Amino acid sequence: MLGIQNNVSALNAQHNLSRSQNNLNTSIERLSSGFKVNRGADGPAALVISEKQRAQIAGLKTAIDNTDKAVAVVQTAEGALTEINSLLVKARSLSIDSANTGVNDADALAANQAEIDNVLDTINRIAANTQFGDSNLLDGSSGLQGTASDADVTFLKATTDTSAGSYAVAVTTVAERANTDATLQTAALAAAETLTLNGVSISLNAGLDQNAVIDRINEFSGQTGVVADANGAAGATQLRTEAFGTAATIDVISDTAAGATSSGFGTTLVQDSGVNIAGTIGGNAATGSGNVLTGSAGASQGIMVSIAEDAATLTQTATGAQGNVTIADNSLIFQIGANQNQTVSISIDSVESTGLGIGVAGNQFTSLNDISVTSAAGAQDSIGVIDAAIDEISTLRGTLGAFQGNTLESTATNMRSTLENTVNAESVIRDTDFADEISKFTNSQVLVQAGASVLSSANQSSQLILSLLG
């Protein structure tokens, strides 16, 4: 049958040609883009999964970069701490040298002290100036910071065991200094006298009045840890330790009987020890050493505060509530994961001299900043404080090293493995299989060319009608 209204053969040829052309275009798109899924129509489910994996891949790459930067931060801090440790070792050597009192004179001790002062200045400068970007790392601003609501309470430090919050400080037993009173001296010393105070012999010349005796005793305060004044009963000479607590002791004896014309301490050994503070922080038990309370349990664990002394007595402020200490956590926070809230943090305590070597039991110095080697007793106590500071710096270095190795670098290694696997999975879902697609491309090319030829022939069939009419 020959018809002129409908060329069915041409329509069939055109339909098949169009389908082949579409397939060819799809192959060209896939080969040129490298993706077999370029739009939702190419595979809705595959597109959804692929886009999620793409987001994860981008997140993993950024998280790895973040972790590498975090490692750089930790290494910067640890490098500065290494230098501080070296400075502390130097200061310790100077203190040991100063303790050799059989050799050193006052000038040598002064020279050692000047060098130690320079060491402390350098430590403080390192603590203040060690930065990564705009962040200070070692001045305490990247760790736990505390403020006290009462003037009688001084915040000293907190540790990684401490939780942020506000904690009430209460004293149940006040700290006391060791102290003892002499018999009232009302006249000048009738004869030369030797006073032995905490193992140190102090010669008192005949003719010294009470004020002169007090001044003479105070010349040896650096060795004895004891201060004399006229605040004893009825204005008698009083001895008191500079430090609080049970480690603060007074052992005093004279070679002259007590009386109005002697120092008044007598020939019987008099001994006294101070009392350690006791109390709570945040309602939890705290350990007392001298006038320093250290939280030992609960969220307040690690908080260290000192309680001020009462100017009128040898003890501290009375028992009871002493105000609150508020701890703010300014720890460094690092985003080391590809997903929400995948963060880690680390707290870096202040390494300024005022924050190191705090609370050494039985020591006349409250911190590294106070050490003095101008006397034998001072040199010995300085060694103890420096040893405590070295321990603190070493512990902090160890903490940073563990954080770098176990948290940051291990996490980065794991993320690199995860990234590799995720990229591979996304590639399977979305990337073009070039071998398969080239085969399809070639087949489509052949079909398009054949279809065009067939369409041309089908269109020519209608021309046969004209030959019948001719």
The answer to the question of residue 337 being in a domain is no
Tell me the C-alpha distance between 217 and 137, whole Å: 45
With a cut of 60, say whether residue 3 has pLDDT above it.
no
Please tell me the predicted confidence (pLDDT) of residue 453. 79
- pLDDT exceeds cutoff 70 at 315: no
Look at 307 and 213; give whichever has higher pLDDT.
213
Please report whether residue 244 resides in a domain: yes
Residue 4: band (very low, low, confident or very high) from pLDDT cuts 50, 70, 90: low
Whether 265 is in a domain gets the answer yes
Contact criterion met (CB below 8 Å) for 189 and 171: no
Residue predicted with more confidence, 27 or 298: 298
Give the tens place of pLDDT for each residue, 391-414. Answer: 999 999 999 999 999 999 999 999
pLDDT digits (tens, 9 = 90+) for 414-455: 999 999 988 888 877 777 777 877 887 788 788 778 777 777
Residue numbers of the domain that contains 214: 178-273
pLDDT at 78 over 90: yes
Q: What is the pLDDT of residue 465?
A: 65
- For residue 192, being part of any structural domain is answered with yes
Residue 136 lies in a domain: no
Check pLDDT > 70 for residue 29: yes
> Which whole number is the average pLDDT over 52-76?
92
Of 17-26, 137-146, 377-386, minimum mean pLDDT range = 17-26
Q: Mean pLDDT lowest for which of 83-97, 116-130, 434-448?
A: 434-448
Q: What is the pLDDT of residue 459?
A: 73
Mean pLDDT of 358-384: 86
Does residue 225 sit within a domain? yes
Does position 160 have pLDDT exceeding 70, yes or no? yes
Count of the separate structural domains present in the chain: 1
Across the range 119-142, mean pLDDT stands at 93
Q: Flag whether pLDDT at 129 surpasses 90.
A: yes
Query: What is the percent of the chain with per-residue pLDDT over 90, rounded to a whole number?
Result: 51
Any idea which of 79-88, 106-115, 358-367 has the lowest mean pLDDT? 358-367
Question: Within a domain: residue 222?
Answer: yes
| Higher per-residue confidence, 451 vs 249 | 249
In a domain, 263, yes or no: yes
CATH code of residue 199: 2.60.40
Average pLDDT, the chain: 87
CA-based nearest residue to 184, from 142, 231, 133: 231
pLDDT of residue 182: 94
Asked if residue 1 has pLDDT above 70, the reply is no
Question: What's phi and psi for 253, nearest 5 deg?
Answer: -155, 145
pLDDT higher at 117 or 225: 117
Average confidence (pLDDT) over 38-64: 83
Average pLDDT over residues 293-304: 91
- The pLDDT score that the predictor gives to residue 208 is 95
